[in-house]
Amino acid sequence: MEQTVRKQRILSGIQPSGTPTLGNYIGAMRNWKLLEDEYDCLYMIADLHAITVRQEPAKLRQQSIQLLALLLAIGLDPEKNVLFFQSHVPQHAQMNWLLNCYTYMGEMSRMTQFKDKSAKHADNINCGLFTYPVLMAGDILLYQANLVPVGVDQTQHLEICRDIAARVNGLYSGVFTIPEGYYPKVGARVMSLQEPTRKMSKSDADDSFISILDGPDTVRRKIRRAVTDSDGEIRFDPENKPGVSNLLSILSALTGETIDSLAESFADKGYGDLKSAVTDATIETLVPIQTSFNQYMADKAYLESVYRTGAERASRIAERTLAKLMKKIGFIAK
């Protein structure tokens, strides 16, 4: 008799807070594609998270729809993966309230992303920015996800999610699956081209990141201007040579060659050679994505059908978990 084993579940998200960078692509998005056959996957555009920082309405709308087109352009099959907007599934906001009541102020105030972002946006340190990790924990727990593929900057948020899940399970037993993080071997933290000791971020200055939609000339210019150092030697040493090491990691992530073998083959070459290899590999990766992106963007009706179906499928799963928790807490069922 045929046996059906339920595949393990994956959930991950990305904010429509700008155009995704090469860091988002290498650290998260392209792994999503690799996982689609082996796992039951849900990928979410975290638009609720994006408003923890002020967004211009028209831009937010455009970035959100572009992000959906990009998820399709990197090859995610909407039949195999549930692709949806977080704001279309009201259970996220509901779960967020419940989990807020099981999370401590002290836990949130330790989060480095909160510290970074509140320094960057000192005029708008809102409560949403503070409880951002609780919303994220709800995103993951609603779907009983086993694995969460993200870049290493999300480690702390994932730990807090596990803590909240264990706390709720301790009080009510058997509500949530405890998720694990899933990090890429190379490129889990792509650094800024201008300040290579900080992570590449889509909401930083334009020259510090490569956007997935940057054309060849822009890619060439940005990599040519990438900060290196003055000793002229190519070796992997993130502490003393963060710029060169970042370029080697990017090249390794894009070509599949190990960092060691790249360092060896570039040992007697100059920074210009390394930069042109990184430029070529980047352009080669991005051009087909951009072509496909333009095709999806030209078909708004298709994009709409993808996100509508995605929201319905996601909602059905999310509602089960939400109802289960609400019952356990002691609310009267509708």
Q: Kindly report the length of the chain.
A: 334
- Taking CB under 6 A as the criterion, the residue among 22, 46, 82, 147 binding ligand LTN is 46
The interface partner of residue 203, options being ligand LTN, ligand ATP, none and the CB cut-off 5 to 8 Å by kind, is ligand ATP
Q: From the candidates 202, 222, 241, 275, give the one annotated as an active-site residue.
A: 202
Give the side-chain half-sphere CA count within 13 A for 309.
13
**What gap in Å lies between CA 300 and CA 302, rounded to an integer?**
5
∠ Cα 141 145 149 (to 5°): 110
Q: Where are the alpha helices (DSSP H) in the chain?
A: 22-24, 30-35, 47-50, 57-73, 91-100, 105-109, 112-120, 127-142, 155-172, 216-224, 242-255, 259-266, 271-297, 300-329
Q: How far is the CB of 86 from ligand LTN (least distance, A)?
A: 7
Q: What DSSP assignment string belongs to 53-100? A: S---HHHHHHHHHHHHHHHHHTT--TTTEEEEEGGG-THHHHHHHHHH
- Residue numbers 2-21 binding ligand LTN by CB under 6 A: 11-15
Is 70 a binder of ligand LTN (CB under 6 A)?
no
Q: Shortest Cβ contact with ligand ATP: which residue?
A: 27
Sole window of 61-69, 73-81, 146-154, 190-198 interacting with ligand LTN (rule: CB under 6 A): 146-154
Query: Toward ligand ATP, which CB reaches closer, 250 or 322?
Result: 250
In the numeric block, which tokens belong to residue 189? 């933290």
**What gap in Å lies between CA 270 and CA 275, rounded to an integer?**
9
* Torsions phi, psi for 171 (to 5 deg): -80, -40
The interface partner of residue 140, options being ligand ATP, ligand LTN, none and the CB cut-off 5 to 8 Å by kind, is ligand LTN
Quick check: is 117 catalytic? yes
Query: Toward ligand ATP, which CB reaches closer, 98 or 259?
Result: 259
Query: Toward ligand ATP, which CB reaches closer, 62 or 295?
Result: 62
Q: How far is the CB of 4 from ligand LTN (least distance, A)?
A: 27
Query: Toward ligand LTN, which CB reaches closer, 163 or 229?
Result: 163
Quick check: is 7 catalytic? no
Q: What DSSP assignment string belongs to 289-305? A: HHHHHHHHHT-HHHHHH
In the numeric block, which tokens belong to residue 170? 């301790």
Output the furthest CA–CA distance in the chain (Å, rounded).
72
Query: Toward ligand ATP, which CB reaches closer, 27 or 310?
Result: 27
Residue 163 burial (CB count, 10 A):
16
Quick check: is 328 catalytic? no
With beta carbons less than 8 A apart as the criterion, state whether 129 and 115 touch.
no
Task: Provide the binding-site residues for ligand ATP, judged by CB under 6 A.
Answer: 14-15, 17-18, 21, 23-24, 27-28, 150-151, 153-154, 188-190, 199-203
With contacts defined by CB under 6 A, how many residues of the chain interact with ligand LTN? 14
Q: How far is the CB of 326 from ligand ATP (least distance, A)?
A: 29
Give the catalytic positions in this structure: 117, 199, 202
Residues that bind ligand LTN (CB under 6 A): 11-15, 46, 49, 136, 139-140, 148, 150, 154, 157
